[in-house]
Structure 1
């Protein structure tokens, strides 16, 4: 089925298609058709067929019968980034195989139209095309279009002519001016918090219909969202009002928006808002932490410094219902106020300057904490080994303390439910407590006092680092299958009563072991098969607290031992027949399979004692590689032992060898098939 035929089966009513699914056939008519366009003649109108398409729409906008029509930016219209043309027509149920013929032309060259054909679905009364060829939809060009319905050799009358203009690019950046907040530096700061200002946005393009803008303040963490303001007239300016909530550096980003919705490049207006809020400092009640020498009802000094010329006094208050007052300005532009907070916890001091003319300027908000949490001494901010304890002494900083509550804080994204533990206070309000580390997720402890009326103090925090004391494990022996491996484990946990050791995670191998006098333990495992093996060990104390898991891993070899006096792994062998001896590590070996120089495996039988001898004649000199594996009667295969040796012409045959350590690279084992 060709492209034209495929259009007859659905998809005619779908919105814009992606370029990968387009089914539009574009035919650019190169011949001169100005007469045809003027007379509306390109095919014979169908007698009593379908009427000319109506309800014409360009990119979902009504038909513009006069140029330039709507300005369209294809990239902003749809996923296909194409202008969509559509219309409707009246049809009868007998009509099949209809096509829509669209003509699109540059209004300056009407004699060179583009012809776009698209099949019409058999149940559809819609004509539709999306213009995806960018080379035929040029930026800045005004196009006209019309459509008719083809029925074989017949055609409906042409529709009315519609227009649109392609606009793919934004204009030049706008300019920004403001009398109250002109561009400048900190030395040129203007206005003030709460002082409104106007900004005039001016475009260099006569195509601008609006401006998108956004303010940013260096002091505030939240950027405002982009807002849109319309121009007074096409290509004209716009004015926006704005009132700062902070002082210091600000910026205004502006984009001019044209009729097609394109944004211009950004214009940035950088300016500074004058600081009029007084500065506040207090060592008694700092804004970064707490001073435990001060508490509820304890007066503390707050130093206020004027930033506005002509300041006469300061007005202050704590929150909405706390203490409040005024303070006259001193000779050094400062005033010191003694304030006694009436409650514990986080609160905010608000202070503003009042000038001699009675003007009240923007307030400064100074947040601080009044800490009435208990005084904590002892093992604070320390590490501890799991199973061991930390001790703390608690002294009250709130009235009539009857008890203390404490709870651990855990690391991780999800903390377990908080379970507070209560410790009664002595008559003098003090208490001592001991905390034992039972898990490694604890990163700190919090403490609160509770007064007789049930009031809880601010919490006190101390950091904790818990050592999981995972046992260290060392091994000797056990590298050959069937031979015992001996392990020694020891831990930093105090008063260990038992170790639990497991081989390869198999619960059936678990050993529960009592420690020696020095706190260590020695135990063994014998591996019955080759390959990777591991031992895990945890320790426990009398309270049942267990350490983190320690362990070690190693490889057990079950491949056969290979030796040869004729072809030693070190030195070289002669270009003559020689032998290799195979000795099993795998219990129950009845045969061996060997491969010389990566050739196919050959089987030889084992002697009753499990050994075997291979006689072999080299065919040339050079390096050779012998791979050997053991096989049991049940078909179990060991790892493969790799034996590398060299054959040289004229080499002496070795008639005897003395036991020496095997140099690295002589005989090695690798995992083979089982």
Structure 2
């Protein structure tokens, strides 16, 4: 069970001079023995009890402050239900004692009470103690616990900068982003919370018998970091989420009560670091197992050694995940069954912890016809109106006998392939501007393979 740092109203409040404790009925004479024992497992607001007045637990008290302890009895069988009596007072005014009680508490269970918010003052430190009550008997008081009220959040959001990723710029990626959080000298700030998504909500696990299991949020390095001093800075090294083009980190300052300041955001664009996936020539037969080369992004490889590739393989036989070790040059070769339905999702893993975004490779794409032209290169301008160009079609599988092609959306035509499966189209644009060629191969058994859209322009 996870419990947020809220409160549970389980108590009544009275002045020190009033009799506020409802005593449990005493068991019949001789029915039970033993005596109440001092409570243990004391907690301030679901955090550990601080026994030092000079180092109290700082808490937000807008909903009151829950305090608790486990009452005990030396004869728990004879006293299955106990009471816990609490006394609370301001450290600066020890005579102003308030009493709160929790009754009919099962033995070994926490007995929480809530100090009402209207009984607490901002900036004030309070002490409290608790004892077990059973009938007319009471245990010794526990040692005092101390908490201080801090309901005021830091006044300004943190300044967020990075020495290696420009804010609102486009970064090459391949290495962790180094970020500096600065509290502007506001000594109320003792740390920071950050996230690539929504900021986390603090909570405490509740264990057996209702006993809290608090942890230090600053041990959760994925979301929290301490400032180097009150009002100081903190530096973190983070790995951006893979497969994200635009990234935004949200950051807030925290005080000792974990009140959050308003938020800062740090936004940047990330270039793809996905590896290249390509079938190794020569051409293969459909259904044959072929070698596929995995090559890392050049910039990513220049920053850190490539360790391996994570590959999700989908074929007509199902889906499986494999890890492929990289060689000394960062590349790897993976045998893959070549069908139109084959697909791979590939990401690279670097020694510095970087995980690239994924590259999708499909058998359909691999089977697409390769098109080249010296006069009219793909996605470039060349030649001109009236200037003929030669477009060479090359297959990636054996058994190709012809090509179906169309230029600028015209009626589709057939071009026979030579014995090697290649063909050459000579075409002359009649006007300058953008043009596009669509082509796909056809095999001897009549199967049409993946298409290629080849764009170019005439000067």
TM-score computed with the length of structure 2 as normaliser: 0.47
Q: Structure with the greater relative contact order (CA < 8 A, sep ≥ 6): 1 or 2?
A: 2
Higher-Rg member (1/2): 1
